[in-house]
Amino acid sequence: MADKKLVCQDCGKEFIFTEGEQQFYAEKGFENEPKRCPDCRRARKQQKRNFEGRR
């Protein structure tokens, strides 16, 4: 398994899906590769937290 270059669906920036991350995904049973770069994933999590806090 080698590192893969992926493109973020939100910002269009290229990011690396490392061999270690791929192993982690496989161990957890995740079948899909990440669609967002780490920055966009963090921003999306923060938005979810803010939204859930308003309920």
Return the pLDDT at 55: 62
3-state secondary structure of 42: helix
What is the number of residues in the chain? 55
Eight-class DSSP state of 32: S
Per residue in 20-51, pLDDT tens? 999 999 999 999 999 999 999 999 999 988 88
Distance CA 31, CA 14 (A): 20
- Tokens representing residue 43 in the block: 């921003």
Q: Please provide residue 9's backbone torsions phi and psi, each rounded to the nearest 5 degrees.
A: -75, -20
Domain residue spans in the chain? 4-53
pLDDT at 3 over 70: yes
Distance CA 48, CA 36 (A): 15
